[in-house]
Amino acid sequence: MKVNIHPTVVFRTPRFSYLTELTDCWEELKAAIAISSSDFYETIKDVSASELSALPPKVYFTIWKYFNRAKFRSTPYGTFASFSILNHAFSADVTPVTINREQHSTSLMDWPLKNNINFDFSQLIANNCLIFSNSSFYLLPDTIRYIACSNGLFELAEIEQDGLVLQILHACLVPLRLNDLPEKLGLDEPGTLALHDLLRDMHDLQLIFTNYDANIIGEDYFTRIGLKTEVDSPTYIIAERNAWGSLSQQDLQSIPDAIAFMQGILPAGEREALALFIKKFIKKFEGKEVPLMHALDPELGVGYDELEHAGNGDDLITQLGIRKQKKPDGRDVKALISQKLYTQQFKDGETIFLNKLSIPPLGKRNPLPNSISMLLRIADGLIFADQIGGPTANALSGRFTMASGAVETYCKQIAAIEQEANPDVLFFDVAYMVEASVDNINRRKLVYQHQLSILNFDTSREPLSLNDIQISIRNSEIILRSKSLNKRIVPKMASAYNYTRSDLSVFRMLCDLQHHHAQTSLSLPLDGLFPEMDDYPRLQYQNVVLSPRKWKLYKANFYHDKQPIAIEQCRDYLKHRNVSAYFKTGLSDQTLCFHLDRDEDLSAFLLYIQKQESFYIEEVVLPDANAVMDEYGKPYLAQFVLGLYHKEKIYHGISQPDSFLEVKESFPPGEEWLYFEIFCHQQRTDQILADTIAPFVDQYADHIKSWFFIRYNEGGNHIRFRILLNDRQDGQLLTSAFVGGLDLYLSCGLISDVQIKTYKRELARYGAELIVAVEDHFNIDSEYVLSLFETISEPFDKYWYCLNLIAMIKAAVDFDGKDFISLAKLISDVFNEEHELDASDFKKLNSQYQLFKNALPQAFTDAQQAKVTAFAQSFIKTLGECPSQRRFKLFSDLMHMHVNRLFNKDQRVYEMVMYYFLLKELQRQKAMSC
């Protein structure tokens, strides 16, 4: 995929030039401190520039840190830094980027002030307020369950079901004027008066919100409700500077190649919580589509991010079935770089160029998001990459939309690029707020077409609703679908908020989904690959610095008997370690920068060390030719937020449902389907199938229209045995006869329990128009598998039977014109990823394949041959009734159920091996035919 650099560039600059002296800007610095730290300002407000040197050391050190921030850190914080935007950042005639020294600020009321706002609900009624539902609600048998928040903690709240409450909730999924609600509900005047009291209660319970409640996305909340900043009230300031000029494209021309290289060598790991959710979801719901809120409910579903093998079996299957700890896959990068690093002993300072190392790309890689950000500094032709990646370029720029129409336009352009590349899905932002102290950075305009609001008011035209979102998993990919829009939807947060701070499962999952099946991290810090080293060289790709030089320092080298060494000794030690002239230390964007030849800086450095035992410092390069200057020629240490994008499709839509066919979904006991669950050890299941179920269906064949079984382990290993009766009146007779046949197993404990259940058809998986055909096919599949028990037990035989069956299907069925080898590889890769196979696992599989391909399957008896022929014909016929675009999905589902019946344990591992062998066979046959 071709990565492009967007011509609009947002960049950030510190308050002062790094050449500025404290005494020259003291009054300006005090003004900035007054905004950001009123308490400390009270300490220094009357201090003049000439009195600074006489201040106590701790007070002066605090001032020094503020001043250091104002010169070297571009992270926005009050007026300590500002942003600028260049709409046409690249031109043939490069002119230096110039900014106004003076800032202009957008002042918004500080977000925590919203907690002080209280409205009389009676007044809201009089104002004909808008009513908006908390769309997280869903139903249990007798209650309405929904998400609520109390004192910053989320909870699942419940109230008793009430018809009018539900009517209101459904009516107000899009904000509705209160005066329009009675007519929509069909209420008379007395009913309208009672409605007002009910709405008040619902508002108190957080079941509804009004337009006087806060919104985090869209028009500023305080402005929207008409509140203005009071003189002494706290404000949230976004500082901006006008800018003009252009950047050198030549300096940046290696960035697309660097991105492509990093994408090729860096493993794309799944978020741990998502990977666990996928496994749990598949286990509980298989191929079903279910409401998102049900899936995340700890009782109805599997929740999110909740914070044995018996007997002799196939050794390979046992080994592959044991879940390993997920290891970060940095093997190739680490191995190849380490050859260079350890040769140099990390000490000589020689830069490592990745483009000069022979690092082969990984075989499988996830696509890049359609837009990502690159946070960088430019110094004399070098590009220092502070951060590369993210799920969208809007994540870093979104916060500035509250202050700049130009940034809002830019973010909408990024959103449009993402949307146009993926026309079959809809992107949506997620409005979430709970931490008043940090939510200022969460405030933003709506730049995507859609928005989902969680526990806050929504000002968008067509709000998405939580209870409208369905979730399913297809080939290990999580799919969200809006039921009302019948479109796949994908979350995109135009915010840099650290969502891992949240304990709300639905929000955490939606944020994690931004990274699902996408390569969103392209940074490569060397200390991440090789932790706890004393020295790290610079790591580059051409002129892009991916990891700067770093040194590990220890307090013991600077303090003896709790006393600091002399400044000159400190300087000598740092020079001995080959530390750069400028260096910084700290975490994330909370850093301090020091000049090796400046006594005042080293004095501050020694004070900083007091609270450390060991820490890292890293090089800072100040350019000779500055990328950004003010109108007076003073240089600034600017940080650019480059938007990188590509236009390839990475999200596919959902298959359109066929014309609706009404079929019955659930059959409780007493209706035409009987459904038994027989709980026993997994290795006992074949005996029960052969000695009890097979004779039973033969004996009562006149009463049975169809039947089938599957194996399951949810809630304990068991057989699910389903019978379609010719006459529902025979249900009691067959129940008594079947359970009676299990008496011996029950009495000796080989069967622990027998349960009679409601049969719920898997309409979401197979479709209403196919479910009867699938059930008939399962009957033929079950009869075929039972016929094998007497003579067939070896896994190799079963693999061969599966491969021969697939060969017949492949010859008879068109899979929408797609290459079957590619389709088989797709499934095989999904299974390999699910089981986290490593090189040693593949070696074992290849060894087994060599044995397998030379093994001849046991011949069928005449009866078995008749059964397998009927089974193959049924398989082909059922696929033929399916629309071509859904045919391969149905093939994989039916094959999955067949393997489930064929093997009595570790079925997914056996299925993985079967597909691996299938792929090897198909590739071998293709090679032989060439």
Question: For the chain, which domains are there?
Answer: 120-211 (3.90.930), 655-761 (3.30.70.100), 765-777+784-930 (no CATH)
Least confident of 102-106, 320-324, 712-716, 765-769: 320-324
Mean per-residue pLDDT, 600-628: 95
Question: Confidence band (pLDDT; 50, 70, 90) for 464?
Answer: very high
pLDDT digit string, tens, across residues 484-498: 999 999 999 999 999
pLDDT of residue 864: 95
- pTM (2 decimals)? 0.80
Closest CA to 622 of 599, 597, 643: 597
Length in residues, the chain: 930
Q: What one-character DSSP code corresponds to residue 313?
A: -
pLDDT of residue 342: 57
pLDDT of residue 4: 97
- SS3 letters across 579-598: CCCEEEEEECCEEEEEECCC
Better-scored residue on pLDDT, 95 or 802: 802
How far apart CA 470 and CA 465 sit, in angstroms, is 11
476 CB-contact burial (10 Å; exposed 0-12 / middle 13-18 / buried 19+): middle
Question: What is the helix (H) or strand (E) element at residue 257, kind and residue range?
Answer: helix 255-265
DSSP β-ladder status, 352-353 and 535-536: unpaired
Q: Are 734 and 700 in contact (CB under 8 A)?
A: yes
pLDDT of residue 327: 46
At residue 672, the 3 state secondary structure works out as coil
Q: How many CB atoms lie within 10 A of CB 642?
A: 24
pLDDT of residue 322: 55
Question: What is the helix (H) or strand (E) element at residue 238, kind and residue range?
Answer: strand 235-240
Percentage of the chain lying above the pLDDT 90 cut: 77
pLDDT digit string, tens, across residues 159-186: 999 999 999 999 999 999 999 999 999 9
How far apart CA 270 and CA 283 sit, in angstroms, is 18
pLDDT of residue 3: 96
- SS3 letters across 641-662: EEEEECCCCCCCCCCCCCCCCC
Say yes or no to pLDDT of 323 above 60.
no
From first CA to last CA, the distance across the chain in angstroms is 31
How far apart CA 229 and CA 238 sit, in angstroms, is 15
**Distances in whole angstroms, Cα of residue 728 to Cα of each of 670, 731, 770, 852:** 7, 5, 23, 47
pLDDT of residue 315: 65
pLDDT digit string, tens, across residues 728-755: 999 999 999 999 999 999 999 999 999 9
pLDDT of residue 328: 45
pLDDT of residue 588: 75
pLDDT of residue 723: 98
Question: Confidence band (pLDDT; 50, 70, 90) for 437?
Answer: confident
How far apart CA 863 and CA 291 sit, in angstroms, is 45
Least confident of 314-318, 747-751, 765-769: 314-318
Closest CA to 209 of 402, 431, 429: 431
Say yes or no to pLDDT of 351 above 60.
yes
pLDDT digit string, tens, across residues 376-426: 999 999 999 999 999 999 999 999 999 999 999 999 999 999 999 999 999
Least confident of 626-635, 762-771, 846-855, 888-897: 762-771
Question: Confidence band (pLDDT; 50, 70, 90) for 148?
Answer: very high
Mean per-residue pLDDT, 177-200: 93
Q: Are 494 and 447 in contact (CB under 8 A)?
A: yes
Say yes or no to pLDDT of 12 above 90.
yes
pLDDT digit string, tens, across residues 501-541: 888 999 999 999 999 999 999 999 998 888 888 999 999 99
Question: What is the helix (H) or strand (E) element at residue 711, kind and residue range?
Answer: strand 704-712
Question: Confidence band (pLDDT; 50, 70, 90) for 359?
Answer: confident
- SS3 letters across 851-868: HHHCCCCCCCCHHHHHHH
Percentage of the chain lying above the pLDDT 70 cut: 95
pLDDT of residue 224: 96
pLDDT of residue 32: 95
> Residue 462, CB half-sphere, CA atoms under 13 Å: how many?
10
How far apart CA 59 and CA 80 sit, in angstroms, is 19
Q: How many CB atoms lie within 10 A of CB 644?
A: 23
pLDDT digit string, tens, across residues 687-735: 999 999 999 999 999 999 999 999 998 888 999 999 999 999 999 999 9
For residue 321, what are the β-bridge partners? Answer: none
49-57 long-range contacts (CB < 8 A, ≥24 apart) are 49/22, 49/23, 50/23, 52/22, 52/23, 52/26, 57/607
How far apart CA 551 and CA 561 sit, in angstroms, is 24
pLDDT of residue 314: 63
How far apart CA 199 and CA 209 sit, in angstroms, is 10
